Amino acid sequence: MNSTDKELVESFLKDRSSESFNRLYEYCNPALYRVAYFLSKGNDSYLHDLIQETWVVIIQSLEKFEGRSRLSTWMTRILINKNYDHLRKFKVNDDIGELQFENSTETNTSVSMDLEEAIKALPQGFRMVLLLHDLEGYKHREIADILHINEGTSKSQLFQARKRMRELMKDYQYEK
């Protein structure tokens, strides 16, 4: 745990003031928001619910944080677990996009697709590893810890995610 993480956690646990919470929130929420944004696939309502539910768990569990990982790693794991809980609760199949893509033989080059939409089209496993590694800068060891997978699985998922991104992006033209 770095000194900023330690300072923020200790400060909040000491007085649980709104000021110490706001410092913790402002420091950690941007990274959580970026990951939640792609998990929500553009659904603002779900995005805000996911962030709020994650922060409730974070605040309730913060005294259990042992500092064996970065604070952001610990918080991201909570966010992803909340998302998995939602998917299980509502029996959402998040890999439908993968099946549709693999079964599609038509190429539609008149459709414009930006990078954000391509990321949203990835199956959740690919999307999570790609986001955590390439956008958030986590190492495979940390991703494996967050997602409860093997480090080799993280590497394989990243390889497959990048491959899928290239496939998705090559079939689309960009409007300039």
Structure tokens at 161: 């995610």
pLDDT exceeds cutoff 50 at 41: yes
pLDDT at 97: 35
**Mean pLDDT to the nearest integer, 25-44:** 90
End-to-end alpha carbon distance in the chain: 45
CA distance 38 to 53: 16
The number of CA neighbours under 13 Å toward the Cβ of 82 is 24
Q: pTM higher than 0.85 for the full model?
A: no
Supply the CATH classification number for the domain 96-170.
1.10.10.10
CA 5 vs CA 37, 64, 69, 73: distances in Å: 23, 14, 10, 11
What pLDDT digit, counting tens, does each position of 53-81 carry? 999 999 999 999 988 888 999 999 999 99
pLDDT at 22: 95
pLDDT at 100: 31
DSSP code, position 112: B
pLDDT exceeds cutoff 50 at 98: no
pLDDT at 93: 52
Domain parsing of the chain, residue ranges: 3-89, 96-170
The number of CA neighbours under 13 Å toward the Cβ of 96 is 5
What pLDDT digit, counting tens, does each position of 116-143 carry? 888 888 898 899 999 999 988 999 999 9
pLDDT exceeds cutoff 80 at 101: no
Supply the CATH classification number for the domain 3-89.
1.10.1740.10
pLDDT at 167: 87
pLDDT exceeds cutoff 80 at 46: yes
Structure tokens at 69: 């990982």
3-state secondary structure 17-85: CHHHHHHHHHHHHHHHHHHHHHHHCCCHHHHHHHHHHHHHHHHHHHHHCCCCCCHHHHHHHHHHHHHHH
pLDDT at 78: 95
pLDDT at 92: 57
The number of CA neighbours under 13 Å toward the Cβ of 24 is 24
CA distance 142 to 136: 11
Report the greatest alpha carbon distance in the chain: 60
Kindly report the number of other CB atoms within 10 A of residue 152's CB atom.
10
